[in-house]
Amino acid sequence: MKTILCFGDSNTWGYDPEGMKAPFPRRHPLEVRWTGVLARELGVGYRVIEEGQNGRTTVHEDPLNICRKGKDYLPACLESHKPIDLVILMLGTNDLKTMFNMPPGEIAAGAGVLARMILGSNAGPADGPPKLLLVCPPPVGDLSHLPDIAARMADGTARSAKFPHYYAALATALNCAYLNSQDIVKPSALDGLHLEAEEHLKLGRALADKVRELGDLRFEI
pLDDT in tens, 62-111: 999 999 999 999 999 999 999 999 999 999 999 999 999 999 999 999 99
Q: Is the dihedral of CA 160, 203, 79, 30 positive or negative?
A: positive
Q: How far is residue 62 from each of residues 44, 55, 67, 172, measured CA to CA in Å?
A: 39, 9, 8, 29
CB atoms within 10 A of CB 219: 13
Q: What letter represents residue 139's amino acid? A: P
- Buried b vs exposed e over 161-187: b needs ≥16 C-beta within 10 Å? eebbebbbebbeebebbbbbbbebbbb
Flag whether the pTM goes above 0.85: yes
Q: Is domain 2-214 given the CATH code 3.40.50.1110 in the classification?
A: yes
Hey, what amino acid is at 15? Y
Q: Which of 55, 52, 50 is nearest to 68 (CA)?
A: 55
pLDDT in tens, 17-57: 997 777 788 999 999 999 999 999 999 999 999 999 999 99
Domain boundaries, the chain: 2-214
How many CA atoms within 13 Å lie on the side-chain side of 166? 18
What is the radius of gyration, based on Cα positions, of the chain?
16
Measured distance CA(178)–CA(128) in Å, rounded: 20
